[in-house]
């Protein structure tokens, strides 16, 4: 889980180091930097009053002890989760299936979820209603989470056209993988993907017939098969 920190304060403040009296502020990229002017005027000019979307790791660059201001002030701190991503650990082996007819998933706050599909578990794609577009390789990191939140598909967009990805890329249907993204925008927002349902056609399977199911008779120069029950059979025999 990756979070972003938001600070709101009435008057400019700076951070004081834990092991020294050094003072620090945040630059335009929310990176902790030493204060260049430690006077009252410097704190007033370079201090923080509003800072949004601070990765908590940025505040760990220097050991900090407390927040310092020129006047008593109320500090409001909020932790808001950033974009999240979840990728299937291993692609689904599709050997038992001849095709995927449709896919659908259920979620809490569905409109704040996105997804992408991969035929190999490495490169992920989104569908725009006519063609598939590559998002490249996705990882379990913030950059990939942001990309998926911005460019991923809403639920249902490609649910009935998944197989066209394989035909467009001239790939065999051997694997299938998903990446999900969520993008909360306010504190305490609960978003989750609960389950994914695939509608598939199973590939033909082979089953060895028992004598109770198929009667086999041998005679000079020929062999005959008699099925006990009606149905579709594939009968194969080998001559030694």
pLDDT at 71: 81
Strand extents, DSSP E, 91-191: 92-93, 97-108, 113-118, 123-127, 132-137, 175-182
Asked whether residue 3 carries a pLDDT value surpassing 70, the answer given is no
pTM above 0.85, yes or no: no
With beta carbons less than 8 A apart as the criterion, state whether 204 and 103 touch. no
pLDDT band of 90, cuts 50, 70, 90: very high
Residue environment code for 43-67, b if the CB has 16+ CB neighbours within 10 A, otherwise e: beebbbeeeeebeeeebeebebeeb
pLDDT (0 to 100) of residue 216: 79
Average pLDDT, the chain: 83
Whole-angstrom CA distances from 230 to 16, 60, 133, 155, 225 are: 84, 73, 47, 42, 13
Q: What percent of the chain has pLDDT over 70?
A: 89
- State what percent of residues in the chain have pLDDT above 90: 24
CA 35, 40, 44, 47 dihedral sign is positive
pLDDT interval class at 238 (50, 70, 90):
low
Residue 181: band (very low, low, confident or very high) from pLDDT cuts 50, 70, 90:
very high
Query: What per-residue confidence (pLDDT) applies to 116?
Result: 95
Residue 2 is predicted with a pLDDT of 55
In the prediction, which pLDDT does 165 show? Answer: 92
Q: Label residue 180 by pLDDT band (50, 70, 90).
A: very high
pLDDT, tens only, 183-208: 887 777 788 888 899 999 887 666 67
Instruction: Look at 1 and 48; give whichever has higher pLDDT.
Output: 48
Domain boundaries, the chain: 3-81, 84-202
By the 8 A CB rule, do 87 and 123 touch?
no
Residue 82 scores a pLDDT above 60: yes
In tens, the pLDDT along 114-168 reads 999 999 999 999 998 888 999 999 998 888 999 999 999 988 787 788 999 999 9
**In whole angstroms, what is the distance from residue 105 CA to residue 137 CA?**
22
Q: Measuring CA to CA, which residue among 138, 146, 142, 148 is closest to residue 57?
A: 142
Higher pLDDT, 213 or 131: 131
Write down the residue that tokens 């945040």 correspond to: 26
Cβ atoms 35, 14 nearer than 8 A: yes
């Amino acid at each position: 889980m990756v979070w972003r920190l938001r600070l709101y304060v009435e008057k400019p403040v700076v951070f004081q180091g834990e092991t020294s009296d050094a003072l620090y502020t945040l630059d335009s990229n929310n990176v902790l930097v030493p204060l260049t002017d430690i006077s009252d005027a410097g704190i007033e000019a370079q201090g923080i009053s509003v800072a949004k979307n601070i990765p908590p790791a940025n505040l760990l660059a220097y050991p900090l002890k407390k927040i310092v201001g020129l006047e008593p002030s109320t500090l409001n701190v909020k932790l808001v989760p950033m974009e999240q991503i979840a990728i299937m650990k291993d692609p689904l082996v599709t050997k038992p299936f001849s095709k995927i007819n449709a896919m659908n998933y259920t979620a809490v706050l569905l409109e704040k979820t996105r997804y992408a599909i991969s035929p190999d578990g490495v490169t992920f794609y989104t569908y725009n209603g006519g063609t598939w577009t590559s998002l490249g390789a996705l990882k379990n990191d913030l950059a990939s989470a942001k990309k998926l939140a911005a460019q991923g598909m809403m639920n249902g967009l490609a649910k009935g056209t998944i197989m066209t990805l394989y035909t467009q890329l001239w790939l065999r249907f051997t694997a299938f993988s998903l990446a999900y993204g969520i993008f909360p925008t306010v504190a305490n927002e609960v978003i989750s993907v609960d389950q994914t349902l695939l509608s598939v056609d199973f590939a033909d399977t082979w089953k060895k017939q028992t004598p109770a199911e198929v009667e086999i008779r041998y005679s000079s120069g020929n062999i005959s098969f008699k099925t006990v029950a009606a149905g579709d059979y594939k009968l194969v025999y080998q001559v030694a």
